[in-house]
Structure 1
Amino acid sequence: MKRTALELLRNVERQLEPKSDENRLVPAIAAGKAPRSVLAALACEQHRIITSDWRSFLFLAARSPHPSAGGFFTTLAQGEVLALDALTGFAEACGVTGRALEDYAPRAGCQAYPAYLAWLALNADPSDVVLAVVANFSAWGNYCRTVSTALREHYGFGDADRAFFDFFAAPAPDLERQALQVIQSAIDAGRSTAPALEYGRLLQRYELMFWNTLAEPS
């Protein structure tokens, strides 16, 4: 029996779900043990990532042969614009303002994720990227939910300061519906899921590299 898009997505999510001990920074933030300097670095790295991912998603939208995939990536690009605006409050609460964001020297391990997403935008079939990207939403959303709670409980951050993490922690059923349409079309066309699994696995590892790089002494 042919799998539905939702069954395939949930199966891939289970395969890609990181183990609880693989992320070294989020538990430290959750316990209130991460220094504010690390939070400031997180804000600066995310500023670079968001502006890069915005361009990557727009390029994927332009490369998509079908409107459903193009619409998915366009929605993601629009979300990056909102996220960049929300990031301002977090950065300011961390003491990062003005030129500090621009002058920050990014760390290679933190920027591996957007570099790989840019590679996917140039080289991968957009329908495969849809499955790879959406399969990692669950882990990213859980990290953001944990960080937001910790920022309130341990660091005294207000709602506006945590808006960036709350944005990604919130469920996005419409976005998932868009993704499922693309995935179902790929299933119906008999496409192999092997490329999407490879892309998703690497995206997950690069995301863990982001967090764990920040957990290391600079």
Structure 2
Amino acid sequence: MGTALSRTAVELAEILDEKRAKNPVGNALLDATGRGAVDEEALRRLVGTEAQAHRAELASYGTALARFPDRPAADLFIQLAQLVAEAEPKLHACARALGMDDPRSPRRPAEHATYAFNGTLSWLAVTGSQAAFALASYTDMRVYFAGCKEFVQRVRQAGVDLPPEFIEYYDDEGSDDLRRLALDVVQDGLDHGDDASDAVFCARLLEESIGDFWRSAAGTA
């Protein structure tokens, strides 16, 4: 797929779907449910990994907004930041329900995989094109919400008792409107000359870092 090829945002999303089908990144947390290896500590690891990501997300969306302040990009980055900011108190309620005073102190889990997503997202916010960052954000929403929702469903089917706060936080499909907006921002970037192949590369890179996120939560990193 060379840069001379003309691609739409929807086509790039389809290319990522094909990559996902042919070479899945995998979700170690879902694999753990199949082995019956999910306990309360696994839930705490997920919350802890999530908490470490929030600050990086807020800073990254702010950086992207500063670099791409025009609409529709500005609308996307503001809404993504708002989504994370509104999730913060819910995540802290989830942590308290699991006996965690502060999911960020001490740093937990304390391994490289916990911070892989943060590093990739931050790097993309600083160096990525509008199309690349927006397609990565779209991929994040596609993969993360589906993975969390399936995890909750599997754990509940296995008879594991989940706090209501955990279910409220993680049993969420995300927003179709926000995903569509992300593709609109990708298309706007492509229309202004952004490199389609680079956008796919960056989005896949972020998806691979979400694989590290799952590994951190599962304790298999």
- 1:187 Cα offset (Å): 3.3
Read off the aligned partner of 2:198 and give its amino acid letter.
P
Show CA shifts across 1:40-68 (max 9, x none): 12211211111221111111112114221
CA contact (8 A) 1:6 1:180 kept: yes
Does structure 1 residue 163 correspond to structure 2 residue 163? no
- Equivalent residue number for residue 141 of structure 2: 137
- Equivalent residue number for residue 106 of structure 2: 103
Question: Structure 1 residues 83 and 142 mapped into 2: Cα distance closer, same or farther (>3 Å)?
Answer: same
Q: Note the residue ranges of structure 2 that are not aligned, 5 or more in a row.
A: none
- Equivalent residue number for residue 66 of structure 1: 70
CA contact (8 A) 1:53 1:117 kept: yes
Question: Structure 1 residues 17 and 70 mapped into 2: Cα distance closer, same or farther (>3 Å)?
Answer: farther
Aligned to 1:103, the other structure's residue is in SS state coil
CA contact (8 A) 2:135 2:199 kept: yes
CA contact (8 A) 1:16 1:200 kept: no
- Equivalent residue number for residue 184 of structure 2: 181
State the superposition RMSD in angstroms.
2.6
Question: Structure 1 residues 30 and 68 mapped into 2: Cα distance closer, same or farther (>3 Å)?
Answer: farther
TM-score, reference length from structure 2: 0.84
Name the % identity: 24
Q: Which moved more, 1:43-52 or 1:176-185?
A: 176-185
Question: Structure 1 residues 18 and 40 mapped into 2: Cα distance closer, same or farther (>3 Å)?
Answer: farther
- Equivalent residue number for residue 60 of structure 2: 56
CA contact (8 A) 1:109 1:209 kept: yes
Question: Structure 1 residues 28 and 159 mapped into 2: Cα distance closer, same or farther (>3 Å)?
Answer: same
TM-score, reference length from structure 1: 0.85
Read off the aligned partner of 2:9 and give its amino acid letter.
A
Show CA shifts across 1:110-138 (max 9, x none): 11111111111111123321012202322
Give distance in 1, aligned partners of 2:169 and 2:133. Answer: 24
Question: Structure 1 residues 155 and 94 mapped into 2: Cα distance closer, same or farther (>3 Å)?
Answer: farther
Q: Which moved more, 1:125-134 or 1:28-37?
A: 28-37
Q: After the TM superposition, which residues 24-39 of structure 1 pair with which residues of structure 2 at under 5 Å, given as runs?
A: 24-29=28-33, 32-39=36-43
